[in-house]
Structure formats: C-alpha cells, structure tokens
Structure 1
C-alpha cells in the first residue's frame, strides 16, 4: 500500500507493469508516455504563467518507487523459476538413470536369447541338412524310377504313357519334366546301346523320334503363339526348349519369322544403280552435295524400327535376350545391309574412282549413324549388358567395310581420284601452251637462283668448316627433292592414263571451242576451287574412314596439292606468264612491235587469290589433322612455306621481266628525241615526237595494267614503272642542248609527263616528279637566278656536279662565269 500524497493514476500504473518492460518497451517510450499529459499544461511561454513543479516531482518519485517494487518482483520470479528448472533437471537425470538400467537389462536378455537361438540353430542345421539329403535322395530315386520305367516302356512298347501325358499336358511344370526326362533318356539309351544289342539301338532311334516330335510340337505351338502375339505362352515354350536343347531351334524360328529375314534374298533395291544421273554427278569433282542413297536410308530406317520392335518382344519371350538379339543383329548386317552395300560399292568401282570414294564415305557415315542409334537404344532399355551387343554391332559395322577401307586399298583410290582430277586439268591446260612450257625459261631461272644460293651457302660453310646449311636452304632443297619425286610418280601416272584414254583433241578443235578456251587457256580460279574442294573432301573422308592414319595421309594429300597441282598447273601458268613477259621484253628491245598485250600480268592477281585459297585450306583443314604428330606438322609447314616462297620468287621474276620491257620500250621511244628539239626560235603547239609517243605508251600501259592488277600489286608496279621512267628522264635531259625557247618546250614535255603520272593517283610518285619541273626551270630562268634556284626545293638535294650537268646544256653556258657567280664546283 502506498501512502504518498501524490499517488499514481491508473494510466501510469498500467505503464508500470513488468510485462511491458519484458515485452520490448524502451525507457524512452516509457518516459514519453509518462510525461505527455504534463507538457506545458496551461502554461504561457513568454508571460510565464505559474507552473507548479510538485506534481511532476511527486509523480516521478512515485514512479521510481513503483519501478523499484517491480524490480523486486522480477527478481523474486526469477529465483522461483531457477528453482523449478533445477527440480526438472534432477527429475530428468533420475529418468535417464532409470532408463539406462532398463536398457542394460533388455540388452542382457537379448544376448541370452541370441545365445539360445544360436544353440538351437546349431542343433537344427544338421537335422535340416539330413532332411534335405533325404528329400533329394527321395526325389532322385523317384526320377530314377520314372526314368527306368520310361526306358523300359520305350524298349518294350516303343512308348511310355506317363511321358506321353506329360508331353501333352498344358501345365508348364509337366512339360519341363518331360523335356528333362527325354534328355536323360537319350543319354541313358546311348550309354546302353552297343552293336551287339540291336533292340537297344532301336530304342535309341525311337527315343530320338519322340524327342523330335516333342520339339516339333513345341515349335508349332510357338509359331501359333507368335502369330497371336501370346508372349507369355511363347516365353514358356522358349524356356522349355532352352532346358531341352539350349533353345537354338526356337531362336532360329523366331529370327526367321521376321518379315525382313523372310525377304532377305529380295532386299537389293536397284533404284540408285539404275539412276545414271546420280552417278554422273558423283563422278563430277564440282558436285558438292552429300551423296546419299535414299533407298539405303529408307532400308536402314525400316531395319532400325524392326530391331526396336523385336528387341521388346525378345525381352518378353526369352529369359536371356542377349543371345537372341545377337543372332538377330548379325543376320540383319550379314544378309540385308551387306547385300545392299556390296551392290552399290561394286557398281561404283565400274563408274569411277571419285564416285566410289564418295559413295563409300556416304554409306560408311550412314551405317555408322544407324549402328550408333541401335547401340543407344539397347543401352537405354537395359538390353546391352556388359556391352556385349555393342561389341557385336561395332564388329558387324567394321566387317561391312573392311574390304574397302583397308589402308592400302582405300587411300590408293583416294590418291588416284585426286590425280585423275588434276591430270584432266593439267592435260587440257598444257594443250594450249605447249610452246611456252617447252622453253622452261622460268624453271631454268629458278634453278640458277637456287644454284647461286647453294654455292653461296656452300662457300660460307667451307669458310667455317663444319657449319651446316641454314634451315631455310635445307627446307628448299628438301622441297625440291620431294617435288621431283612426286613429279616422277605423277609422270608415270599420266603415261598410264594416256595409254588408257582416247587420243586428245587436236589443237585446232580446242581453239575453236570458246567455252573450252575460256576455262583452260589461262589460270582459272574456278578450277583451283574445284581442286581445293576435292582435297578438302578427301581429308574429310580420311578422317572418317582411316582416322589413325590421318596425319600421314593428309601429308600425302598436301604433297599432291603442292607438287602435282601446284607445279603442273599453277607453276605452269607462271611459266607461261614468264615466257610472255620475256618475249615482250625481247620485242621491246628491238622495237619490232608497237603495242603490248600484258595479258600475263593477270597471273599476279589470280596467283595471289590461289595462294590465299590454298594457304587457307592448309591452315584450317590440313594442318589440324597433324596436331598430334609434330614431325608431320613440321613437314607440312616446311613444304607450304617453300612452295609459297617459290611462287613469290616466280612472280618477282615476271615483274622484273615486265619492268624491263617497259623500261626498254620507254628508252627506245626516247631515242626519237631529236638533237635540236630544245633549241628552237619559236614555240609550237605540239609536244615533241618523243614526248608524244612516250605519253601514248604510258597511257596504253596504264590501261592494261589496271585491267590485270589491283590493290597493292597495282600500286607497287606503277611506282616501280614511274621511278624507272623518272630516272630515265633525269639522264635523258643531260644529253640535249637547251636555249631559252627550247626550255619552254622542255617544260611542256615535263608537264605532259607529270599530268600522266598524276592520273595514276600515287601521291609520293607525283611528288618525286616535281623534280623534273624544277630541273626544267634551270633551262628557263635568268642566269642570275640559278644560284638561288638550286638552293630551294628538291634541287637542294642534288649534288652540284649533277646540277652542273643540266646547267651546262644551256646554250648560254659559260664555265668561268658560272663557277664565279653560281658557286658550282
């Protein structure tokens, strides 16, 4: 009870409750709630109405007392709860001890009981074994008695009625007993039979006939159940015959009952064999589609469905489906698929090598996919225990193609296919260029360069005894050796083909065939694409058919591509181009022709495209085949680099001959410059004759070069022509006297030359030709200005002696005057 004058009201008492503090209220919440009704109650801030603090003080005093009381109550409750916890923990410990004792007693009882059971079992087991022995002896005695009586019945009456009843019974166990008895009877009868006992021998025959009848009747029933899809009945008969003689006959019947097996002799479909259009396409190297035989694909689809359907039936009919499926699969491969494949592959050999390897690859992939899908089905349906059927499928698939995919047989045909394709192209191309190819000018030039390099390398090696040849030289000579070896082989191949084929068409016939000429008279990128595609196609077949030999076989295909095709077609085109450049160079020196074709320059652009195409094929297709064979891969690199280097050298030689031709022609035309062309009294409208003809020649050459070259090749070629022309003009103007009027004529010629060069749109070349204009100024300016002129522009870079050569051609030239006033030494 509280005796305070200012006791707490009911609202504050509700706050002072232990549950409130335990329920999550904070001190701040409590103070706010306690003071909210007294905040500025009836007060004025500025006028200071009287505020009595006592109610507040007393209120908070009462609050403190109430809080203290609540704290004491809380402590009391806490001590009470702790005592209760201690009591419950004590009771729990007592319960655990009591239960532990009880568990120990139960465990002890169980151990005693287990000992007693073990003792009883020890005594019962001998009794059980004795009982089983007695039972087995009784059963064997019963079976023996039944067997002897059955033999006696067949021996005396040629039949035994109880066995007949078992045979005709519909009860599974009875028929199983009949089957086992017949087997034992035959064994017994054969042991008793002897030449002296005729009746015993006859008894064996009777029992054998009975056995055959028993088996035939079961097979007939099995056949009937098969037609009616009574799989449970079929399973019983299959089980009986399995115990009777291993079940071979019922398995044979089951396999033969399938429609595909019944029609196995008539499965050969001649759809593709009779379609000449398909075989024509397959024999065409340009044909790029997949060579699929729809009839074979349809046959495999039907067989796939048949195997799946029969596998499910076998699973229901036979206790062990693996042997049945094994026979079923082997029969399908050996009797149906083999006939189909053999017919197609044998026929393809008569059509051509390319058709053969294409259809071989197609069938290999098709049957391989079929085999893989069947294996996956058997694995998924738990029919391929221990992967036995998977091994059978792989073996069957392997046996189908072993005759055609052995390393020597297959790849010899693959090489023959590529060689035939290349031979056909080379023979047609060389027919148009027999004269140029017979000269072998480029080959001789390349061999001379190789000899120079070799002699230089040999000299260095002799000077440093023991020093080996550089790796680059070794690679090139290795390349030449391989090239000669391959070309020798290919030459023999071509001789064989020439003897097999009809005589080639006459040259006149070839030149009259416009389409033929367009395709085979020059290097054709379309033909190169066909050969490269053929090589890629061969690589794809090698990876499928002989993956273990892929590195070595890919190397041989690369050699065919580089040596056979690269040398005899691409190399021949470069030989023809070089011969053309050489002949035009000879004409340019003699001045016997007025125009030049420059058609051989097309070899630059086409050869660049060809090298890019072949290099891409090698890099992306052929080299990856040798990723696991470092030596083969290195060999591939060396051969490719040597071949590309040889082509680049050939192009450089052609460029050199062509540039010489242009230079010789310009030199010949400049010879038409008359001695007095630049010593004139009057200025004419026309350019000098030499300038006019050189200008016409340069324009003609530019138009033809633009048609045959492009990009960097065009730019580099024009720069070389322009710089050579500039150098010739610089020497040319050192030879002619020039007066003041002639200087203007010379300047006109120079401007004409500059305008032609500017049309080529090569800034650095145009900049170089500015020197000509500055040299022309040496002939036109007043003598007093020459000294200042030679210190500016490009003339400042010329040697004084060179400038003197030009200035000395002025008609007003005075050596003492010039040396004194122009400081030219």
Structure 2
C-alpha cells in the first residue's frame, strides 16, 4: 500500500518498471526523463522568479522508494530463478543416470546377442567349408568326368563332339573351358602314353594336332581382330590362350603383327655416314661443336612414339601388359637401336679414334635420353608398378654399349686418342728442335737440383713422395716413348728440309694454342668418362692427368724450356759477352708463355680433373702431389732461365765498363758521353724493351730491379778506379745523369731513389775540397762508411794524403 502524500506522475510510474532497466535504459536517461517536466517550470529567469523545490524533492523520494521496491522484486525473481535452475539440474542428473542404466542394459543385451551370433557362425562356418568342398569336388568331378570322356573319345574315335562344340561356340566361357580341357588332355595323354600301348601314342598325337588347330584358329581370329581394331575380341582370345599355354604364341603373334618398320628414306635422311666433311670435323681436336646425326634422332623419335602407342594397345589387349612389353622393348633395342648404333660406331673406328669416342659419347647420350623418356612414360602411366620394365630398359641399354664402354676397350681408345694428339704436337716440335733437345742441359741441371733437394730431405713421407713421382714419371715416359717408336715405324719421318715452311713456323716454337688443344681434348675426355664410365672416373682422370703432366708437359712444355735454355747458352759465350755483338733475347718469350701455360694447366686440373676424385682422398692427394711437383719443376726451370739471363746481362754490363778510358775523367774539355756510357745506355734500352715485351707485373719489376741494382753496384765499384779532375767530374756527372735517365724511364721508385747515390758521388768530384765535409753528411752519402767515401775522394786530382784530415775532416 502506498502512503505517499505526493503521488508520482503517471509517465514516471511507467518509467519505474523493472523491464525498462533490464532492456537497457541507463541511469542518465532515467534522470533526464523524470526531471524534464520540472526544469524551469513557471520560472522567470531574468527576473529571478520563485522556484518551488518540493515537486523535485517529492518526485525523487517517490522515485527512490519505487526503485527500492523494484530492487527487492528483482532479488526475489533472482532467487526464484536459482531455485528453478537447481531443480532442472537435479532432474537432468536423474535423466543421465537413468539413460546410463538403459545403455548398460542395452550393451549387455548386445553382448548376449553377439555371443549367440558367434556361436551360430562357428557352427555355420564348418558347414560352409564343407559345402565349398562338396561344390569344388562336384565341379572337379564334372571336369574330371568330362576330361575322361574327352580322352576316351579321342582314344576311340579320334574326336570328341562335346569338346568340338565348345571350341566352335561363340561364348567366351565355352572357349575358355575348351582351352582348359585341351591343356589338361595334353597333360593326361603324356602321362598315359606308353610304348607298350601304341594307341596311347596315337591318341597323344591326335590331341596335339587338335590343340594346334584350336590355337591356330584362335590366333587367326586374333590377327583379324587386330587388323580391324577390335580390342575386346583380342583381349578375350589373349585370356583364353594364356589359360591354355601361358600365352607365349599369342604374345609372339602380337609382337610380330605390331613390329615397328622404319622407312629406309627416314634412315638415310640426315645421316652423317656419307658426309666426309663431318667426319673430318669429328677427327679435328680443335672442333668443339656437337655434331648431331639427324637420322638417329629421327629414328629415336619415331621409336619413342611407337613404343608409347603400342604400350597403350597392349594395356587394352592383355590383362598383364608387362611380359608383352618386355618382349616388345627387347626387340626394339636389339633389332633397331643396336643396329643403328653399331653401324655408326664401326664406321667411326675406320675414320679415327677421336671420331669414334665422340660419336660414342653422342650416341650414348641420345639413347640414354631415349631410354629415360620411355621409363618415365611407363612409370607415369602405371605400366611398370614393380619396376620390371625399368630393369629391362636398363639392361637393353647396357647391352647395346657394353661392347664399346667396357673399361679395357673404351679407355684404351680414349687414351690412344689423347696420345695421338700429344704425339702429333710433340713429334713435330722435336723434329724441328732436334739439335737443341739433344743436350738436355736444363733437365740435367734440374735433376742435379732435385737430387740435392732429395738428399736434404729427412722424413720418410717426403722420400716416398719423391720416389713415387720419379717412378711414375719414368713409367709414363717409357710408355709414351714406346708409343712414339711404334708410330715412327708405321710412318717414316721426313727430314726437316722436306717439311713445309708453314708447318715449321707452327710447330718449331711452343704455342699456347697447342696447349689449349691438348687441354680441351683432356677436358673432353673427362666429360666422356663421367658419362660413359662414372664409377671409374677417379682412376681414369688420374691417368689423363699423367698424360698431361708427363707425356705432354715433360716433352712439350719441358722441351720448350730446353730450347730456350739452349738459345741462352748460345748467347752466353765469352765471345759474345766480351764483344759488341748484339744479344738475341727472343728466347725470353718462353718465360711469359710458360707462365701462362702453367696457369692454364693448373686451372684445368683444379677445376676439371680434381673434382673427379673429390670422394677419393688417396687419388686426390696423388693428383695434387703430381701437379705441385710438376709446377715446382717448371718454376725452377724458369728461375734458372731468368737467373742465367741476369748473369748474362751483368757480364755484358761489366764488359761495357771495360771500355772506360783512363783519361775519360781526367781531361781538359767536355765532350760527348763516354763510350762506356753510350754502350751501357743502349744496352739498357735493349734490355728494357726485351723484358717489357716478355714479362709482366711483379716478374717484370723484380727483374728490372735486379738489373738496375747490379748496374748500380758495378758503377759504384767502377768509379773507385779512375782519377777525376774538375772537368772529368763534370763528364762523370753527365754519364751518371744519362744512367739515371735510362733508369727513370723504367718507372720504378726504388731504383730511381737508389741511383740518386751516383749523382751524390759525382758531386764528390766536382765540389770544392772544403765543401766535402758538409756534403758527406747529407743525402745518401751520410749512410756510406767513411772508408768508402775516402776511396772516392782519394781519386780526386787535387787529393793530398798528408792534408786529408785537415781539409776533409772525415771521421773514422
């Protein structure tokens, strides 16, 4: 009951409803709503009229009371809802328990039923087995009875009409039964046949003849169906004949009927057999392009298409296509591919060894790609689930090339090819350089150095390496010499005078093009080895390395160094050193050429040959040791060649200084440069132009530094021998400036700085005596010993030993 003296407005009462608050009305909205009717109601804002607060107070009191009442109602509803939830949860738990017990009862009933069913099954199974046995026995009995009747018919009448009816029937099952019966008849007749019963032999012959007629009749139908493209009929006949005797004859018939025949024009089109120019290119080691035989490519493309199309037909005709595809593939490889390969390879053998190995490589890759493509097709189309056909393809491919790729046959030809290339180059080089190569002076000198180094070695490992290298080298050289002798007996050698001048120009001097020819041929050989005999690649690559280092490197590159050394020796004779004859430094071209050749050889070995033995440490170490030993010997040869050239230059410089006259520096007037200075300057220009054309980079600078320092040392000693007056000092200074000019042109700061000492020494002869003391404390003279300076000062024309300390004040 409401005792309020101030009732709420009806609109406000509508607001005080629990549903409004539950439906989302906010406090702010509620306050605004109850206050809007009293806001400034009847107020005078500007005149500050009276505002009665009671309506506000009563309104909010009533509102607060109503809100409390609503709150209590909400609490009661919440409690009631919680009680309802508890009741429902209890009922749910009771339902779950009841359902669980129901399920348990159902499972128990199911177990009982399952046990009963299992019991029934256990009783029925023996009955089923017995029934199957009875059925099978009945069928076998019927078959046996039919088989005995059939044999009796052939035995007595030489025929059996019921069997003939089956044979001539158009039904598949009848024909199958006939085939099985005939097969069993043949087995039975062979067992019964006895010499004591002649009629059994006759019966066997009749049955065999009947089986032949039956099979021949089926095969004829198979052929007709094949021609007309009736694959269903072919498949039925094939299944019948497989039941009869394993299907050997039907397979043979199918293969023969579907044999691949090539158009003769296709075989000849694009063939290289009659192209003489092509075979000449194949025999040229410098020819690097791959020549393709269009005829072979066309044949393989045709076979690729035919095999794929035949495989799909075989899949439709035979339940198991694998046995048929085996025979078909073997025939293709044996009759077509092998004939083509043999024709080309046999012809290539009559052309040249190089042509043969190149053609072998090309055909190996062509047929290999063809085989790989066929294998992928058969695998992708699920013809070969057990990998039986892959094995047949691999074996067929192997059988084609085994005659040519066996280790003893193939690599002997590969090695013969390389030896022929090396022999052709080395033999012509030796022919044009017989005189120079006969002395082997450089080899003897290096051998002495080797022996010295060998005697200095103390470790057993180093000794073994040394012995191994020399043993292998001698072995390879002996083998190659034997090969060369055999070549010489086969082909008489012409005298040098009979040879073509152009050939002499090409072969007399070592040539980087010849080296490139050999290296390219070796790289070709390695590429072929990796394709044809990959398992033997490390050992065979080692043999190729030995051919490069021992056969070619020793006889050609080493021969070139021998020729250069012989030319040096011809220049290095006292008659030339101590005369005005000009030196011929042409042999020095060998230095830069051999350096470049060694770089090419080392790069080839490092990038091509060594990777072949990456998984074989022993062979790889052997390759590295052989290469390092060979390169080391070549570097020793180059060092000897260069050092003796420097000695030769030093000897000529010393000879030029002997032209210095005693009066050159003790004269009364200044003339042109002295004869010694002229000779040395001209000789220095020749030396510089020679070295700059034959050496490069660090080698050029190091050699020029040695030549310059040698000249400087000789001049320093030279100027200690001559008395110099004031005018002669100017002449000496002119000579020094001429020397400095020659050296400055070399653009080597080290030499330019060192030759400054000569000018300072020249000043010792030109300055006044009283200035010598201050002169020797400056520049490079300050680094000389007093005794050395005294030697120069003592050659001054105004030198007086008794006054040396007083005038020159030189310290000890």
Report the alpha carbon displacement of residue 268 of structure 1 after superposing the two structures with TM: 8.8
Structure 1 counterpart of 2:433 = 433
Does residue 1:576 correspond to 2:566, yes or no?
no
Task: Pick the aligned partner of 1:755 from 722, 736, 741.
Answer: 741
Structure 2 counterpart of 1:464 = none
Does residue 1:481 correspond to 2:450, yes or no?
no
Report the alpha carbon displacement of residue 456 of structure 1 after superposing the two structures with TM: 3.9
Matches of 1:252 and 1:309 in 2, distance apart? Answer: 18
What secondary structure is seen at the aligned counterpart in 1 of 2:723?
Answer: coil
Matches of 1:72 and 1:815 in 2, distance apart? Answer: 142
Matches of 1:746 and 1:30 in 2, distance apart? Answer: 125
Report the alpha carbon displacement of residue 704 of structure 1 after superposing the two structures with TM: 2.2
- CA offset digits 1:463-515 (Å, max 9, x no partner): xxxxx3573x65344322321221111111110111122x33432344622xx
Structure 1 counterpart of 2:694 = 708
Structure 1 counterpart of 2:809 = 822
* Shift in alpha-carbon separation, 1:35–1:727, aligned structure 2, 3 A: farther
Report the alpha carbon displacement of residue 338 of structure 1 after superposing the two structures with TM: 1.5
Task: Pick the aligned partner of 2:530 from 518, 526, 543.
Answer: 543
* Shift in alpha-carbon separation, 1:30–1:359, aligned structure 2, 3 A: farther
- CA offset digits 1:350-371 (Å, max 9, x no partner): 2222222222222222222222
Does residue 1:732 correspond to 2:718, yes or no?
yes
Task: Pick the aligned partner of 2:651 from 664, 672, 688.
Answer: 664
Does residue 1:491 correspond to 2:481, yes or no?
yes
Structure 2 counterpart of 1:129 = 129
Does residue 1:778 correspond to 2:739, yes or no?
no
Structure 1 counterpart of 2:219 = 219
Matches of 1:423 and 1:674 in 2, distance apart? Answer: 57
Report the alpha carbon displacement of residue 137 of structure 1 after superposing the two structures with TM: 3.2
- CA offset digits 1:740-778 (Å, max 9, x no partner): 111111111111111111111111111111111111111
Q: Is the 8 A contact 1:589 1:661 kept in 2?
A: no
Structure 1 counterpart of 2:161 = 161
- CA offset digits 1:357-409 (Å, max 9, x no partner): 22222222222222222222222122213222212222222222222222222
Greater mean deviation of Cα atoms: 566-575 or 180-189:
180-189
Greater mean deviation of Cα atoms: 113-122 or 489-498:
113-122
Matches of 1:760 and 1:28 in 2, distance apart? Answer: 103
Report the alpha carbon displacement of residue 38 of structure 1 after superposing the two structures with TM: 12
Structure 2 counterpart of 1:312 = 312
Matches of 1:60 and 1:782 in 2, distance apart? Answer: 132
Structure 2 counterpart of 1:275 = 275
* Shift in alpha-carbon separation, 1:510–1:670, aligned structure 2, 3 A: farther
Please show how residues 237-316 of structure 1 align to structure 2 within 5 Å: 237-260=237-260, 271-316=271-316
What secondary structure is seen at the aligned counterpart in 1 of 2:292?
Answer: coil
What secondary structure is seen at the aligned counterpart in 1 of 2:573?
Answer: helix
Q: Is the 8 A contact 1:542 1:550 kept in 2?
A: yes
Matches of 1:597 and 1:42 in 2, distance apart? Answer: 136
What secondary structure is seen at the aligned counterpart in 2 of 1:737?
Answer: coil
Q: Is the 8 A contact 1:751 1:773 kept in 2?
A: yes
Please show how residues 109-258 of structure 1 align to structure 2 within 5 Å: 109-258=109-258
Q: Is the 8 A contact 1:261 1:332 kept in 2?
A: no
Paired residues in the alignment total 809
* Shift in alpha-carbon separation, 1:712–1:22, aligned structure 2, 3 A: farther
Q: Is the 8 A contact 1:269 1:340 kept in 2?
A: no
Structure 1 counterpart of 2:728 = 742
What secondary structure is seen at the aligned counterpart in 2 of 1:195?
Answer: coil
- Consecutive unaligned residues of structure 1, counting only runs of 5 or more, are 462-467
Report the alpha carbon displacement of residue 811 of structure 1 after superposing the two structures with TM: 0.4
Q: Is the 8 A contact 1:18 1:74 kept in 2?
A: no
Task: Pick the aligned partner of 2:773 from 775, 783, 787.
Answer: 787
Matches of 2:637 and 2:42 in 1, distance apart? Answer: 117
Matches of 2:143 and 2:634 in 1, distance apart? Answer: 94
* Shift in alpha-carbon separation, 1:479–1:193, aligned structure 2, 3 A: closer
What secondary structure is seen at the aligned counterpart in 2 of 1:676?
Answer: helix
Q: Is the 8 A contact 1:341 1:363 kept in 2?
A: yes
Matches of 1:20 and 1:713 in 2, distance apart? Answer: 103
Q: TM-score, normalised by structure 2?
A: 0.92
Q: Is the 8 A contact 1:291 1:358 kept in 2?
A: no
Structure 2 counterpart of 1:93 = 93
- Consecutive unaligned residues of structure 2, counting only runs of 5 or more, are none
Matches of 1:172 and 1:236 in 2, distance apart? Answer: 7
Matches of 1:736 and 1:35 in 2, distance apart? Answer: 135
Matches of 2:25 and 2:291 in 1, distance apart? Answer: 85
Task: Pick the aligned partner of 2:603 from 616, 641, 663.
Answer: 616
Task: Pick the aligned partner of 1:506 from 492, 495, 505.
Answer: 495
Does residue 1:699 correspond to 2:685, yes or no?
yes
Structure 2 counterpart of 1:801 = 787
Please show how residues 73-88 of structure 1 align to structure 2 within 5 Å: 74-88=74-88
Greater mean deviation of Cα atoms: 421-430 or 595-604:
595-604
- CA offset digits 1:719-751 (Å, max 9, x no partner): 111111111111111111111111111111111
Q: Is the 8 A contact 1:589 1:668 kept in 2?
A: no
Matches of 1:477 and 1:55 in 2, distance apart? Answer: 129
Q: TM-score, normalised by structure 1?
A: 0.90
